[in-house]
Every structure is written in C-alpha cells, then in structure tokens.
Amino acid sequence: MCLADAGNGLRGTDFVSTWPSGIHVGAGWNRALTRERGSGMGGEFKTKGVNVLLGPVVGPAGRVVLNGRNWEGFSSDPYLSGALVHETVSAVQAAGVITSTKHYIANEQETNRMPSSDTESVSSNIDDKTMHEVPFQDAVHAGSGNIMCSYNRVNNSYGCANSKALNGVLKTELGFQGWVVSDWGAQHAGGAAALAGMDVAMPSGDALWASHLVEAVTNGSVPEARVDDMVIRTIASWYQMGQDQDFPKPGAGMASNLMEPHQIVDARNTSFRSTLLDGAVEGHVLAKNIRNALPLERPKMVSIFGYSAKNPDRNNPSNGLSPWLFGAESFNWAEFAAGFLGWAGPTGKTAIAFNGTIYSGGGSGATSQSLLSSPFDALAQQAYDDGTALFWDFTSGEPAVNPMSDACLVFGNAYATEGADRPSIRDDYTDGLIKHVAERCNNTVVIFHNAGIRLVDQFVDNPNVTGLIFAHLPGEASGRALVSLLYGASNPSGKLPYTVARNESDYAVLGPDRPRGMFERFPQSNFTEGVFVDYRHFDAHNITPRYPFGFGLSYTTFNYSRLSVQKAADADFAEYPTGQVVEGGQKDLWDVLVDVSADVTNTGAVDGAEVAQLYVGIPAEGAPVRQLRGFEKPFLNASTTETVRFGLTRRDLSVWDVVAQKWQLVRGEYTVEVGGSSRDLPLVGKFRI
C-alpha cells in the first residue's frame, strides 16, 4: 500500500491540484463544497496510485493560537470541524482512497512535539470530558478507514502507546473498525504499542516492530490474536474501498525523482476546476468594507504594495529535499529546515513569508504547485481588460504612494509550518507597511494570506483603511478568486472559523507550553481551560473580540425571522443513550430530537450566500453559554427568502458524564439562538427536557 501526504492535496509530485487548505475550507462553511473538494482530491490520489491519503486534520484543534499546524485543520470549533471532516472522509473514501484522520489525540503544539536528546515529547494533560469534545468522533462516524496516532504524550503516556486513548476511547467506545498507524517516528515502544492498539508502524518498524513483534508473540508478550487483529483491520479497509479491483499499482504516478525522465500521469480532472475556484472564493472573509470601497468598478488607477501579491521567484521541483517539496518557496528555507528537518539553526523566529504569496502552509501538509494564479497575475489581467493604470512595489516597507490612486491594495501574509509554532500573531513590518500606505492613500484595502489567526488592531481603525480581507490559503486559484471578489463578480460569503481578538492576552491559550522547573526533561501542558477555547472562552469571560467567530461581511444584507423550535415526534429523551455501539459511538447519539427552522431573507440588492448559524445553550453545570450546533449556507437572490432547517441530535444536546461514561441529556431549559455570527443572534428560542 502507498501512503502519501496530505489533507490539502498530494505532495511531492507533478500534475496534481493545489486545493484550498483546511483553514480556508473552514472559512467557507460549505458542506457541499467540502464534499466536492474531497471527491476531487480522492480522485487525484487514486490516479497516482495512493491507497491512503494522510489526512484530513482535526488535531490540532486550535487550542494553541500560535500552533504551526492550525492551518491544516478546519476550525477551532469542534462542531464545524466535525461537520467538515465528516464530508471530507465520506467523499475521499467514496473515491476509493482510505483517509488517515490525524493526529490522535490532544496534539496541540509543535514545540517539543518529539523527543530530542534527553527531553521527552510534551505531555498533553487533558481531562476525560475535554477529550470527548473533539471531532475525531465525526471522522469515525463517517467511516474513516485509518486514524494516525500523534507524536505527543497524552497524560504522560505516548499517544501511540496509550491504551486508554486507542483501545478504550477509539476502538471500544467509538467503535472504530479501521487501523491505527503511527505518525512518522511517533512509535517509541514495541510490545507496549501493540497491546495499546497501534496496528501499523511508519515509516519503518525495524527497531521496535518487525522481527521484534514476532519475538513478542513467540515469547507470549503479545497474543497472536492481536497481530491477527492488526492484519484484519488493515486489509479490511483495503477491501472496503475496492482497492483489490482495478486500483493502480502503489505510487504508480509518483516518480521518485522528478528531475529524471518519467511517465507523466496527469491526475487533474477538469470537472473539478470550478470546485477549486469556488473553494478559493468562499474561504475569503471580508471583515471591513466602509465608504463602498468594494467592489471596485473599473478604477482609473490602482497601486499594489506588499510581498504577498506576487508569486515566489521559484516554483520548481528539484531532487531531494527542497522548498518546493515542503511549501516553503516563499519562506526562509534555512529557518524552515531547522524546524522541520532538524538542521542547525533558529526556528520560529519569522512570522511572514517575505518572498511571495502563499498557497498553503509548510511541512508535510503542504501542496505541490503545478499551476498557480497569484493576486498580481490576476490583477494585471483585470487592469489590462479595464484599461486601468497599475503601479506596484513588492519590496519596500515604505514605498512611494501615488495619491491619485483610486485604490491602494496592500498584501501581507502570516506564515505557519509544521515543526515550529508561530512567533507571533502580528508583525511590525507588515503593520508598518499598511500604516505607511494608509497615511498617503485614503482608500487602502488590506489583504492577508493568513495560515492562522492574525491580529489587526494596529491599523484597522484607521479611516483610510477602508477594506480588510482575510484571504487564508486559497490554493491554486488564489488570484482569480480574489479578483472575482474585489471586482464584484463574486459576492463574499466566507465567515471566520475562529475569533480575531483585540489583544494577544484575550485568548485562553496563546502560545505553547515549554519545559521548565522540575519537568524540564518531561514537558507538561495542562489543559486547564477545558472546553473553553476560542469563542467559548470569550463568551465565558465577557471579552469583546475585534471580529467574532462566524463573522463575515457581504455586498448585500440579510434578515432573520420566524424561528421555530419543535421536539421531534416520537423522540426518545431518556437521560442516556441505549443503542448499540456503531462507528462513531452508540447508534442513538445520532437520532434527531429537536427540529429548528428559521427564515433568511436577502434584504439587499445583490445576490449572495449567507451562513446561517445555530447555537445551543445546554443547561449543564460548567457548560459554555453557547455552542455551535448547526449551520446552513443558502444562496439567495436579492429580495428572496429561504427557510433553513436544522436537526439537533442527541449528541448535539448532550454533555459527557465522567461518572456514567456516557453522553448525558441533562434536564432543564435549553436555549436556541440563530443568526449570522456567534455575536449576532437575533432569533432566540427555548425548549425544555
């Protein structure tokens, strides 16, 4: 079997697509489009002879704001992330490719993620309740054939040798039927890992597995039935996806050296070009738009500034390790290699990719670019078509600015990569560039390609900053998508899959925990905040964000009305589920208990899509004020109305009971809120259980 990276597209080969990254998909809030993306990616992996797609990512789950890999996942909210991982797993596996949902579990920082010298990996010390509030359940419910165990320790036991996590939660409670593979180099025990539930060692098990596993069975340390179970689980997924029938040879389309003559296997399917563009469009979030700055209408003069507007100077594979291979073409290669490859040098020092726009983050989750549209490429074409005078400066932090510009576009980015956590969530250079341009141009629009949360309070209140777009990581259609939005061919519909704070101190957990004191050789990270991450933390502490979770502007306006909350007919409201365990947990966890509907009206003059969001307040002690429990994204023509419907399941309404070790449907009055963001919820209803 061939296992290959990653959850945003096939890495390290030619003639594949650069799909929007996880964070961009999360900002799209679109189940159907997420499923199309999964189908397209799955088809490309299959064409290239890849049996197992090493993704999607739901861990890290966004606990640590500065985590270098948050961009690979969908959101800091478990419901949104769970809904999108379900669609991804279902679609990729329908295409005949096994998904390896990762990284299980509590993998929330890159700092000390692996043992080095005499220091162990960080231990994620997580309580039972919080451990159950993660999206892996949704991936298992969708039938993910593989789960990847993570580098970190979980409550001081390595993730790939943690029987509670693997045998207890995953294989017993959640009814996982597939196989567990180690992250590359995450295995630190032989017989203990086998007994704990790990099934396959990667990249090589020679030191701890292989003949040693034979020896462990021979001497009675590991039951032969455990090895049978490993084989059955692995081969079962191979049969389930139909890989025994007309599947390409493993890695058939992936040349080992792209610099030598090789057979071209073009995995790209033209049927998915619209999916790539639509996905790129919908993951852009318009956060500020005053004085009708956008959309642009055939401007006479546009000035472009900033390092993230153009393509990197090189997009060219080379033999061996290279920036192209790991999504670091625009970044400092020496710094990247120090963090990811372990080369000598400083890591986590630079917040931005100076050398061009970014299409994905860096590391094993990076994409391989075969075709790219940068913002500048697309803007130049639009200017040519419109007869617009176009001026630019990609290098200066204090550029000359023509005051006659109809609009000034400033492009920055926030880079992130596997192997190092981010140094900050803002940088002085880019903030200084924006303020410099805004002092000289009264219509300054800022665009960030951000592989994570990016603070904007240094400049966003400047009245000359008329527009702000979080462009995330759009994939290969980046420039075409942005121009479509800037010029009004597309109406923005993205919403933030995280909260943008005013200050770093507003977040529950900003940066990673580091070794200190008596635990210097055994780093500890205590998840004392529990489930209160992102907007749940902001709500609990009454902190006003700059832009709330679920927020995003449009070129039109929407109104909400006619909320209806009804208990489902013949629904069972028993305190605990009673169904048999299936993939994802007890079967009746997925029964719909309450039906909610609301009307959404486009009250403006422009056709557009709106993400209608439903939040539930569960009357349990210590529960968040509200938690996302539904979303729909209707496209509405101007002045039209559509009814959106949400089905609340037993799991949606339950909390984990640490004593009963089951999901509990607590007694009391539940609150239902519906609206356009976590802080804009005009419709409020209640029901009692």
How many whole angstroms separate alpha carbon 397 and alpha carbon 432? 7
Order of all β-strands in the sheet with 641-649: 558-567, 592-602, 641-649
How many whole angstroms separate alpha carbon 296 and alpha carbon 647? 40
Active site residue 428: no
Order of all β-strands in the sheet with 153-154: 157-158, 153-154, 123-125, 524-526
Closest C-alpha among 659, 661, 670 to residue 573: 670
How many whole angstroms separate alpha carbon 69 and alpha carbon 59? 9
- Tokens 């942005």 label which residue? 482
How many whole angstroms separate alpha carbon 340 and alpha carbon 319? 18
**Catalytic position from the list 5, 14, 77, 183:** 183
Two tokens, residue 362: 């860096």
Closest C-alpha among 63, 40, 41, 70 to residue 54: 41
Given a contact cutoff of 8 angstroms between Cβ atoms, the answer to whether 28 and 283 are in contact is yes
Residue type for position 205: G
Given a contact cutoff of 8 angstroms between Cβ atoms, the answer to whether 611 and 524 are in contact is no
How many whole angstroms separate alpha carbon 77 and alpha carbon 74? 8
How many whole angstroms separate alpha carbon 440 and alpha carbon 438? 5
Between 478-486 and 273-282, two packed helices, what is the crossing angle to 10 degrees? Answer: 60
How many whole angstroms separate alpha carbon 243 and alpha carbon 46? 9
* Strand residues in 152-259 grouped as ranges (E): 153-154, 157-158, 179-182
Given a contact cutoff of 8 angstroms between Cβ atoms, the answer to whether 656 and 663 are in contact is yes
Q: By CB neighbour count within 10 A (0-12 exposed, 13-18 middle, 19+ buried), where does 127 fall?
A: middle
Q: What are phi and psi of 360, to 5 degrees?
A: -150, 175
Q: Is the peptide bond before 6 cis (omega within 30 degrees of 0)?
A: yes
Burial 212-251 (b: 16+ CB within 10 A, else e): bbeebbeeeebeeebbebbeebbeebbebbebeeebbebb
How many whole angstroms separate alpha carbon 174 and alpha carbon 41? 27
- The CA distances from residue 37 to 12, 73, 534, in Å, are 19, 14, 27
Distance of CA 20 to the CA centre of its chain: 10
Which residues are part of the catalytic machinery?
183
